[in-house]
Amino acid sequence: MHERLDVKPFATLDAIARHWAATAPDAAALVDGDRLISWRALGCCTDACARMLASASVDREDRVAIVAENCLELVALLFATSARGACAVIVNPRLSARELDAILDHAQPRCVVAAVDVSAEAAAHAERLGASRTEVAGLRTLGISMRVPEASEDIASAPGQQLAAIVYTSGTSGRPKGVVLTHANLLFVAQASARLRALGPDDRVLGVLPICHVFGLASMLLGTCYAGACLYLFPRFEAARTLAAIEHARLTVVQGVPAMYAKLLSQLGPHAKVHAPALRFLSAGGSPLDATLKARVEFRFGATLHNGYGLTECSPSVSQTRLDAPRTDTSVGHAIPGVGIRIVEPSLRDAARGDIGELWVRGPNVMKGYFRDADATSQAMTPDGWLRTGDLARQQADGALFIVGRLKELIIRSGFNVLPGEVEAVLNACPGVSQSVVVGRAGHDGNEDVIAFVELVPGCAAGEREIQAFAAADLAPYKRPVEIRVLDALPASPSGKVLRHELKRLAQRSSR
SS3 per residue for 394-424: EECCCCCEEEEEECCCCEEECCEEECHHHHH
- The residue out of 121, 136, 152 marking a domain boundary is 152
- The residue out of 108, 136, 152 marking a domain boundary is 152
- The residue out of 110, 130, 152 marking a domain boundary is 152
- Round to whole Å and give the CA distance between 212 and 79: 14
- Round to whole Å and give the CA distance between 357 and 276: 40
The pLDDT-based confidence of 459 (bands split at 50, 70, 90) is confident
Give CA separation, 372 vs 154, 200, 470, 471, in Å. Answer: 6, 39, 31, 28
Percent of residues, the chain, with pLDDT higher than 70: 93
Residue 84 included in any domain: yes
Residue 401 included in any domain: no
- Round to whole Å and give the CA distance between 29 and 126: 28
- Round to whole Å and give the CA distance between 164 and 64: 10
- In this predicted structure, the answer to whether residue 3 has a pLDDT above a threshold of 50 is no
Domain count, the chain: 2
67-81, 92-106, 243-257, 403-417, range with the lowest pLDDT: 403-417
Residue 114 included in any domain: yes
- In this predicted structure, the answer to whether residue 296 has a pLDDT above a threshold of 90 is no
- Round to whole Å and give the CA distance between 510 and 512: 6
145-149, 172-176, 446-450, range with the lowest pLDDT: 172-176
Select from 34, 23, 1, 42 the least CA-distant residue to 227: 23
Residue 234 included in any domain: no
Mean per-residue pLDDT, 422-428? 88
Cα of 208 vs its chain's centroid, Å: 11
Is the Cβ–Cβ distance between 32 and 234 less than 8 Å? no
Domain that includes residue 440, residue range: 411-510
Give CA separation, 423 vs 417, 418, 436, in Å. Answer: 12, 8, 9
- Residues 6+ away with beta carbon under 8 Å from 506: 453
Select from 311, 188, 208, 316 the least CA-distant residue to 256: 208
pTM for the whole thing?
0.85
Select from 303, 306, 309, 305 the least CA-distant residue to 287: 309
- In this predicted structure, the answer to whether residue 385 has a pLDDT above a threshold of 70 is yes
Count CB-CB contacts under 10 A for residue 328.
10
The pLDDT-based confidence of 153 (bands split at 50, 70, 90) is low
- In this predicted structure, the answer to whether residue 170 has a pLDDT above a threshold of 90 is no
Sheet containing 176-182: order of strands: 132-134, 142-146, 111-114, 63-67, 87-91, 163-170, 176-182, 369-370
Residue 468 included in any domain: yes
Q: What is the pLDDT of residue 289?
A: 83
Is the Cβ–Cβ distance between 113 and 143 less than 8 Å? yes
- Helix %, strand %, coil % of the chain (to 5): 30, 25, 40
- Residues 6+ away with beta carbon under 8 Å from 20: 27, 29, 39, 225, 228
Percent of residues, the chain, with pLDDT higher than 90: 73
Query: 43 vs 494, which has greater pLDDT?
Result: 43
Select from 484, 491, 490 the least CA-distant residue to 510: 484
Mean per-residue pLDDT, 47-53? 98
Pick the most confident of 406-415, 439-448, 467-476.
467-476
Q: What is the pLDDT of residue 171?
A: 44
Domain with residue 435: its CATH number is: 3.30.300.30
Domain with residue 88: its CATH number is: 3.40.50.980
Mean per-residue pLDDT, 19-45? 98
Mean per-residue pLDDT, 375-390? 96
SS3 category, 462: coil
Residue 328 included in any domain: no
Is the Cβ–Cβ distance between 176 and 139 less than 8 Å? no
Amino acid at 497: K
Q: What is the pLDDT of residue 433?
A: 87
Q: What is the pLDDT of residue 1?
A: 37
Please give the DSSP secondary-structure letter assigned to residue 217: I
Q: What is the pLDDT of residue 372?
A: 94
Residue 258 included in any domain: no
Mean per-residue pLDDT, 436-449? 84
Residue 482 included in any domain: yes
Q: What is the pLDDT of residue 212?
A: 94
